[in-house]
Structure 1
Amino acid sequence: MVLVGLLLLLLLLLPLLVGTRLLWGQWKLRSLHLPPLVPGFLHLLQPNLPVYLLGLTQKLGPIYRLRLGLQDVVVLNSKRTIEEALIRKWVDFAGRPQIPSYQLVSQHCQDISLGDYSLLWKAHKKLTRSALLLGVRSCTEPRVEQLTQEFCERMKARAGAPVAIQKEFSLLTCSIICYLTFGDKEDTLVHAFHDCVQDLMKTWDHWSIQILDMVPFLRFFPNPGLRRLKQAMENRDHIVEKQLRQHKESMVAGQWRDMTDYMLQGMGKQRVEEGPGQLLEGHVHMSVVDLFIGGTETTANTLSWAVAFLLHHPEIQRRLQEELDRELGPGASGSRVPYKDRARLPLLNATIAEVLRLRPVVPLALPHRATRASSIFGYDIPEGMVVIPNLQGAHLDETVWERPHEFRPDRFLDAGANPSALAFGCGARVCLGEPLARLELFVVLGQLLQAFTLLSPAGALPSLQPHPYCGVNLKIQPFQVRLQPRGGGGRAARERQ
């Protein structure tokens, strides 16, 4: 009875609280030249939010404000405005807003993706980046190729049968992260982490959590979604802590088998200049979480989008296979193009670039926060203002891209004819895993098209429209594909001659 009374009281007071907060916010900003404000505050309920936000530019221009719950945010919808803020004035906009779900998921911001900008954050990012680019540099490409080859062999065993390819890609990318992070690709560990990531992202994206970020004081009321998120985090932390404990017990000083060894041994060597604090095991813990959250579903989604577009454009698929046959030999020959020589496969690179342009990994990036008062294209941006880069909107800008909604990989074959896309963000907050993701996309898509022809089951083409309401990632709607082996070309045929 008491709970019902509290809820009724909240409903009565909510309009007053919202109105008071908005009026106070407007009063503080009254002397500034701010971007124009979009009426209303229920914008998050719009389907296909990035495209909706781009549509608002026709009346308001590429930069404007809108209200998300109790907070004003600035939205950037063009490449020029995004680069102005995140590259030329990156120091001003390198912060992260410290909203409730971020603080909960990231262990009070010991996290690279969600943590606020600081000298300690820079040292944390440097350690994780070094582990990815230096700690496992020599084995990354061979391991990605090995796991992709094993994936293709599993798919051959299911030749001709419809395959839910997105789940298969998700397990593949999770196994790659497991191998690089822990030196282990055992099915039990891969499935444990895969299920953990799926559960965490599904719970985090639920409206009952998203509303807490819009109206923070609601966290003091009963919320089953919040309880499920905490349970998912406990499961996540249990799995990671077990791996860290095993690594500490077995690692040899001065040697590293994987990224975890590298980070555990390197955390004490990172100097945090002119700032308090030092890197601790909790930072390594959250680096592992970042690698799995940022490196599994994002890459799997992009690979799934690539397959879906190629099913709709069989002529591009045919040209890709001709290019692969020309460079690697006909059919599934087992030959390879080293990633450093990827220029030998220009159409494959262009296809990946076009998929990333049309379906960027995280279409609205993650929100930035102004670390100090600044400006963007003549508009004042006060300290603390949240800034959202609409990456997908920038990729669909008709003033920059010719026929932007069409899938046309050839646009990237003419060097300099098109600007580079912003699929992984830019500036200080550019995606840490971009080099690994690009390697995976190149290797997996190349080996898949070398070994198989992609066909739609019973001619049923997948939808190219994303889930209308999604969270951080631009999710593809579930679909199936038939993988038809390309037959007896290549090495086997030559050996029989």
Structure 2
Amino acid sequence: MLFLGLLLLLILLAGTRLLWGQWKHRNLHLPPLAPGFLHILKPNLPLYLLGLTRKLGPIYRLRLGLQDVVVLNSKRAIEEALVRKWVDFAGRPQTPSFKLVSQQYPDLSLGDYSLLWKAHKKLTRSALLLGIRDSMEPLVEQLTQEFCERMRAQEGRPVAIQEEFSFLACSIICGLTFGDRDESFVNAVYGCVQDLMNAWDHWSVQILNVVPILRFFPNPGLWKLKRIISNRDHIVEQQLRWHKENLVAGQWKDMTGYMLQRMGQVKGDEGPGELLEGHVHMAMVDLFIGGTETTATTLSWAVAFLVHHPEIQQRLQNELDLELGPGPLGSHIPHKVRTRLPLLNATIAEVLRLRPVVPLALPHRTIRPSSILGYDIPKDTIIIPNLQGANLDETIWERPQEFWPDRFLEPGKSPRVLTFGCGARVCLGEPLARLELFVVLARLLQTFTLLPLEGALPSLQPQPFYTVNLQMQPFQVRLQPRGQGQ
């Protein structure tokens, strides 16, 4: 009886909110509304949303729980909102799960737009581009070389490559962020990242963003997430404590040390307030949560496509041999030679286009009334940029569903891929991610031939039901050292 009463109350609240929204916006020219309420449950959600454009156009509204959201499915619509009118669309919805992850201090990725947020972003970007500028590439090179040595020791046995890439990416982030590459520490961080992503993606947590009132009901999934967040914060707090105790003015070896020294010197426009240790804490969280699975998943998609296309893999190896010479395991592959490896760059771009790892980005929120493609967009509207949809737009891309790296080999012919987002909320880790993709794939292809298991090509279809990341179906490959048995 109690459950039935609560259900009726939810229906009443939803109906009241719907009618109020319709009345409040009655004089606006809003994007068309897609009928139905259960869109979020559709398999292959980004492609489903792209399919709705055939009837509704590149911008439309969906009902998601108790509110409407606006979905952008074209490069033109996304760039108008996030680049040309970025101030209007720079906010984030403050959903229950976003607030939980942020705890006491605003998170950089999930935090709402403010002048203090701009200062937080400026500090983190400075740490990435200046604080570790000289150590970033050598560390990525060293850890990638060690990774290839471990893979060579497998002697061609089946390898669960995504797990290996995840550990490699986590090792790189731990080294750059905390200056700590101890195996036990990396394992602790890696386990925390895996637990956090699994708990965050669980339906019992995600449903709170659609029906927030459910957060007041017993929820084991939510309790589990809170325990994992507590463990996450314990790991970061230990590192912050160690760095403060060993701080030497004007010296740092990693991003944490740089940010602790610089946090009082970075000012935003019009005096936004003071950056505190908690902001450094959340920047570190963003880096090791956002910089592990995203990079590992993109590398895994690249391997899967190359296993399906051995002719492209062979061309890549020929390019590497021609430009760099056959690769002894100790040889260096400087990132500055990337302009001499156009096919490798094109292959990375094509993987990023077809399989953007966060295909629906993170939702934006309008902080003031605006418009997109002639439609009115009220204040506090949630905006979902369908990056995968934009990357498959038939009006922009020739043969959009096909893996065809050569499309990027003619300078100026292919538009920019939106995988990392654009505008004020563009992914801060893009420079590091691109460096890792280049170095790891170059080293991997220089050292190994990527082969499927007998009769078991990896699936090129993502997991059907949507999570924040575009999840792969598990697969294994053989890494055959070049020159052996070919």
Asked if 1:249 corresponds to 2:256, the answer is no
Per the alignment, residue 292 of structure 1 pairs with: 288
Contact 1:356/1:423 (8 A) holds in 2 = yes
Residues 431-440 or 466-475, more deviating: 466-475
Q: 1:108 offset after TM fit, Å?
A: 5.0
Residue 188 of structure 1 aligns with which residue?
184
Q: Which residue of 1 aligns with 2:450?
A: 454
Contact 1:272–1:278 (8 Å) recurs in 2: no
**Contact 1:331–1:486, Cα closer than 8 Å, also in 2:** no
C-alpha separation between the residues in 2 aligned to 1:365 and 1:377? 20
What's the offset of the Cα at 1:336?
Answer: 3.3
From 432, 436, 442, the equivalent of 2:428 is 432
Structure 1 stretches of 5 or more lacking a match? Answer: 489-497
Contact 1:328/1:336 (8 A) holds in 2: no
Q: Is the 8 A contact 2:83 2:422 kept in 1?
A: yes
Q: 1:166 maps to what in 2?
A: 162
Pair 1:104-2:69 in alignment: no
CA contact (8 A) 1:177 1:292 kept: yes
- Whichever residue aligns with residue 65 of structure 1, its letter is R
Q: Label 1:467 to 1:239 Cα distance change in 2 as closer, same or farther (>3 A).
A: same
Counterpart Cα distance in 1 of 2:329 and 2:242: 40
What is the CA distance between 1:17 and its match in structure 2?
1.8
Contact 1:328–1:335 (CA under 8 A) maintained in structure 2: no
1:142, distance to aligned residue in structure 2 (A) = 0.5
Paired amino acid for 2:447: A
Q: Are 2:356 and 1:360 equivalent residues in the alignment?
A: yes
Which residue of structure 1 aligns with residue 304 of structure 2? 308
Report the 3-state secondary structure (helix = DSSP H, G, I; strand = E; otherwise coil) of the residue aligned with 1:86. Answer: helix
Task: Provide the rounded CA distance (Å) in 2 between the counterparts of 1:287 and 1:73.
Answer: 28
2:404 is the alignment partner of 1:408? yes
Is the counterpart of residue 261 in structure 1 residue 275 in structure 2? no
The 5 A counterparts of 1:120-199 are 120-199=116-195
Q: Which moved further from structure 2: 455-464 or 331-340?
A: 331-340
Matches within 5 A, 1:331-350: 331-332=327-328, 334-350=330-346
Q: Distance in 2 between matches of 1:226 and 1:234?
A: 12
The reply to whether residue 283 of structure 1 matches residue 279 of structure 2 is yes
Percent pairwise identity: 76
Helix, strand or coil: the match of 1:458? coil
Q: 3-state DSSP class of the match of 1:278?
A: coil
> In the alignment, which of 24, 38, 61 is matched to residue 28 of structure 1?
24
- Counterpart check, 1:223 vs 2:219: yes
- 1:90 is paired with a residue of what secondary structure? coil
2:89/2:366 contact within 8 Å kept? yes
Aligned to 1:469: 465
CA displacement 1:364-397 (0-9 Å, x = unmatched): 0100111100111110000100111100000111
CA contact (8 A) 2:145 2:329 kept: no
> Residue 322 of structure 1 corresponds to which residue in structure 2?
318
Between the two proteins, the alignment pairs up a number of residues equal to: 485
SS class of match (2:450):
strand
When structure 1 is superposed on structure 2, of 407-416 and 11-20 the one drifting more is 11-20
What's the offset of the Cα at 1:124?
0.3
Instruction: State the one-letter code of the partner of 1:162.
Output: P
- Specify the SS of the correspondent of 1:93: coil
Distance (Å, rounded) in 2 between the aligned partners of 1:414 and 1:334: 33
2:475 is aligned, of 469, 476, 479, to 479
CA–CA distance in structure 1, aligned partners of residues 430 and 84 of structure 2: 21
For 1:286 and 1:7, locate their aligned partners in 2 and report how far apart those are by CA, in whole Å.
38
**C-alpha separation between the residues in 2 aligned to 1:157 and 1:55?**
46
Q: CA deviation at 1:275?
A: 4.3
Q: 1:331: Cα distance to partner?
A: 4.4
By how many angstroms is 1:218 displaced? 0.9
Alpha-carbon distance in structure 1 between the residues aligned to 2:452 and 2:209: 41
- String of CA shifts for 1:404-440, please: whole Å, max 9, x gaps: 0000000000111111100100000000000000000
Deviation at 1:109, TM superposition (A): 5.4
SS in 2 for 1:453: strand
Aligned partner letter, 1:193 = V
CA contact (8 A) 1:354 1:409 kept: yes
**RMSD of the alignment, in Å?**
1.3
1:426 and 1:411 map into 2 onto residues whose CA distance is 22
Q: Distance in 2 between matches of 1:222 and 1:415?
A: 56
Residue 12 of structure 1: CA displacement?
Answer: 2.7
Q: Point out 4+ residue stretches in structure 1 off by more than 6 angstroms.
A: none
Contact residue 264 and residue 281 of structure 1 kept, 8 A: yes
Q: What secondary structure is seen at the aligned counterpart in 2 of 1:402?
A: coil
CA distance in 2, matches of 1:109, 1:70: 27
Distance 2:457 2:439 in 1: 25
Instruction: After TM superposition, give the deviation of residue 241 of structure 1 in Å.
Output: 0.4
What TM-score comes out, normalization by structure 1 length?
0.96
Assess if the C-alpha contact under 8 Å between 1:332 and 1:486 holds in 2.
Answer: no
Change (3 A) 1:290 1:335: same
Residues 112-165 of structure 1: CA distance to partner in whole angstroms, max 9, x if unpaired? 100011110000000011111100100100000000000000000002100000
Q: Is the 8 A contact 1:331 1:487 kept in 2?
A: no
